[in-house]
Amino acid sequence: MAKDAALAGGKLASAPTSTLDGCVDFSYTGGPAPDPARMKAEADVEAKAKELNKKADEAQANPDAKPGSSAADSAKAAEKDAADAKLYADAAMASADLATKREERDKAFAAAGGASFGKDGLRELAAPSDAKTAEGIGAGSSLNELKTAYDAKGMKAGDNGRFQVPVDGKPDWVYEFTVNGDKVGSVSMVSPKSKCA
């Protein structure tokens, strides 16, 4: 489904709640409004991570200076090594900060429900908290109920730690369930092959 068509239907808010990683997330009408401060923080962290990782990649592509025959050459090589090490550490920290922002976005999205669009169109539908699958599973269902409903249908833990099972009649789509303790926390339909940017 194309983003414009989905927005025209009136079930989604008209302004996105996140644009992190090139995905454009919308809450359902009446759901959380966009938070400009949070969105700016996401954009800033993403830009910083991209910039530092690009610089780190460039530094890695340039061979290390070899210690020379003089003390000055050796000092220059040591300075470059130290600067590169700091750059790599800064890039790693920026990547960790970006991962934190992604996790915060994903939790907020799953809790509120909505639609997320990537470069190829719809990539995820997060169910509102009161929605249930055809098998009766929704937020608050027990882990045992989830397993009873979906183990025989091939449910498995995904790479992201969430339970996934193919959606009947929707090739390339899976239900994705977060579990907190022994309860389902959220339900989404996800197209795992769809990418943000």
| Both structure tokens of 136 | 């009766």
- Rounded to an integer, the average pLDDT of 6-10 is 85
Q: Is the pLDDT of residue 66 over 80?
A: no
Give the mean pLDDT of the chain.
89
* Domain encompassing residue 8: 3-114
Question: What total number of domains does the chain contain?
Answer: 2
| pLDDT tens, position by position, 129-185 | 889 999 999 999 999 999 999 999 999 987 777 899 999 888 899 999 999 889 999
Q: What is the structure's pLDDT at 63?
A: 67
| Both structure tokens of 80 | 């470059």
- Rounded to an integer, the average pLDDT of 36-45 is 94
Q: What is the structure's pLDDT at 65?
A: 62
102 and 16 part of one domain: yes
Query: Residue 73 — left, alpha, or beta (φ > 0 → left; ψ -120 to 50 → alpha)?
Result: alpha
Q: Is the pLDDT of residue 117 over 70?
A: yes
157 and 68 part of one domain: no
Structural domain includes residue 120: no
Q: What is the structure's pLDDT at 74?
A: 81
Task: Of 41, 55, 40, give the one whose Cα is nearest residue 91.
Answer: 55
Helix/strand/coil for 171: coil
| pLDDT tens, position by position, 14-36 | 999 999 999 999 999 888 889 99
Helix/strand/coil for 166: strand
E strand residue ranges, the chain: 24-27, 114-118, 121-126, 156-157, 163-166, 174-180, 183-190
77 and 169 part of one domain: no
- Rounded to an integer, the average pLDDT of 104-116 is 88
Q: Cα 147 to chain center, whole Å?
A: 25
7 and 100 part of one domain: yes
103 and 21 part of one domain: yes
Q: Is the pLDDT of residue 1 over 80?
A: no
78 and 149 part of one domain: no
